[in-house]
Amino acid sequence: MDAKKLIEEGRSYLGIEFGSTRIKAVVIDDAGTVLATGGHSWENRLTDGIWTYTLDDIWGGLQDCYSDLVKDIKDRYGITPVRYASIGFSAMMHGYLAFDKDEKLLVPFRTWRNTITEEAAAALTKEFDFNIPQRWSIAHLYQAILNKEDHVKDIDFVTTLAGYVHYKMTGRRVLGVGDASGMFPIDSDTKDYDSKMMEKFDALIAPCGFSWKLADVLPVSLSAGEDAGSLTEEGAKLLDTSGSLQAGIPLCPPEGDAGTGMVATNSVGLRTGNTSAGTSVFAMVVLEKALSKVYEQIDMVTTPDGAAVAMVHCNNCTSDINAWVDLFKEFGQMMGYSIDMNDLFTKLYSKALDGDSDCGGLLSYNYISGEPVTGFDKGAPLFVRTAESAFTLGNVMRMHLYSALAALKSGLDILTGQEGVKVDKMYGHGGYFKTKGVGQKILAAAIHAPVSVMETAGEGGPWGMAILASFADGRNEGENLEDFLNRKIFADAAGTTMESSPEDEKGFDDFMKTYMEGLKIERAAVEVLS
């Protein structure tokens, strides 16, 4: 069936994701082919010391994004969509949206970017014997309690951004288990919040005398494919201000951006993983068994169908590389050259492959901001060499590409070294992998495992969300998410896989020894320059 007819008959799938700088919509067919897209750019704002988006930002951005999608459909096919087979919403994970019984937002939306919950995160980590990062919703809630914030007594509902949007679309207070795992720890056996930890939390706050318990205010956790409600008349008007969209469309469980990234890279099965590398970088590995102990460097979340996932999340990745590329651009323009940035990035990234496997003794730290994985709450970008170092362009670029992954590798080494976690294949996506064969080769050397980059991964989170919508509608009876993805979406997916070489692995390992020792230099730089 052609794309126009699919959309006209309401047989396509819509996924919308709220990213940190862009809201994007993708419409696909049942094989995952992209039929239309829409987008809206937005930025978080720092208000009274809190990184936030307003409700007007959320709804104005969503409506503009959907309107842009409708325009794309009209331009391509000459029609206006009135129905989809299924819809899904996803967004940045974590954060804190708290409402009272009248649906009034009690305090401005506190996003994942805020680092204001150190006391609560440390206390809960100790109480649960489970790592609770500062950005998690439960850390925000407990910090508000510790701060004796007046609004806490009035809480009726706490959720994430995706959960909030889904609630306004359907009236259902639910959340996909992957997104829920960034609110509160999940028991992968029950695919629900860990009951023992919930009891511990309720006991912690019992002296406060609140009228609610934790189970009363958290959204219901759902696995991928479960019934998550349907679009109400109010929801349809809120999404499509033109009034064309019909109510009654099924919605799949809303998910977080980590879950949609797993789906978009086909890494939901055991011993698979994915690395998203751009402004920040994180890697996730689906575990065969629980870790032996708690590590501050490792977050425990789940796949959209509830399997345990270990995640290493680092604040810094390509920003320092971008700054150096801009410097080369400035030099080229000074010399009278016309500089195409895509071409410049490609040439400089490719030049890294000419460098020595250990970067010739060069060392850098890409800490534009703090890096919790290596113990830094502030950063200072730093480049260090000795007189004997091989100071060549190839080594400089290779060093920066190594540095972009070094903090991540230090966390992943805990998984693969201390915990013996096996990774059969890692999937890469994000700007770091845009130059073919470069970032992919370096990541393979870092993790000592094959790395695959698929052409479809470029569509990212909203595409993954649209696939989850299609899974809710088009799976075979009893079919799990991994089998569905392999059968329907990725059976013929184009991509490349690169193995690491022993020489590159040794070179990265040698670089890491110097990098970990050199953290003393970085700490001195932060102290002096601060």
What are φ and ψ of residue 103, in 5° steps?
Answer: 65, 25
pLDDT reported for residue 478: 87
**Residue 1 has what pLDDT?**
64
Dist. CA 453–CA 267, nearest whole Å: 12
The pLDDT tens digits along the chain (530 residues) read 699 999 999 999 999 999 988 999 999 999 999 999 999 999 999 899 899 999 999 999 999 999 999 999 999 999 999 999 999 999 999 999 999 999 999 999 999 888 899 999 999 999 999 999 999 999 999 999 999 999 999 999 999 999 999 999 999 999 999 999 999 999 999 999 999 999 999 999 999 999 999 999 999 999 999 999 999 999 999 999 999 999 999 999 999 999 999 999 999 999 999 998 888 899 999 999 989 999 989 999 999 999 999 999 998 999 999 999 999 999 999 999 999 999 999 999 999 999 999 999 999 999 998 898 998 888 999 999 999 999 999 999 999 999 999 999 999 999 999 999 998 889 998 889 989 999 999 999 999 999 999 876 556 789 999 999 999 998 888 899 999 999 999 988 778 999 999 999 999 999 999 999 999 999 999 999 98
- Structure letter (DSSP) for residue 191: T
pLDDT number for residue 530: 82
Q: In angstroms, rounded to a whole number, what is the distance separating the alpha carbons of residues 378 and 373? A: 12
Which pair of tokens denotes residue 96? 């804190």
Q: How far out from the chain centre does Cα 409 lie?
A: 18
CATH topology of domain 3-253: Nucleotidyltransferase; domain 5 (3.30.420)
d(CA 281, CA 303): 18
| Full-model pTM | 0.88
Place of tokens 């060392």: 363
∠ CA 367-371-375, rounded to 5°: 125
Looking at residue 216, its amino acid is: D
Q: How many whole angstroms from its chain centre is CA 52?
A: 18
* Structure token pair of residue 34: 């992209």
The residue whose two tokens read 């009876």 is 477
**Helix, strand, coil % in the chain, rounded to nearest 5:** 45, 20, 35
Scored b (16 or more CB within 10 A) or e, 201-213 reads: beeebeeeebebe
- Can you read off the two tokens belonging to residue 42? 């937005």
How far is residue 252's CA from residue 445's CA, in Å, rounded to a whole number? 38
pLDDT value, residue 474: 86
514 Rama class: left (phi>0) / alpha (psi -120 to 50) / beta? alpha
Range(s) within the chain of domains with CATH label 3.30.420.40: 3-253
Separation of alpha carbons 105 and 161, rounded Å: 12
What is the edge-to-edge ordering of all strands in the sheet holding 425-429? 299-302, 308-314, 281-286, 272-277, 425-429, 451-454, 495-498
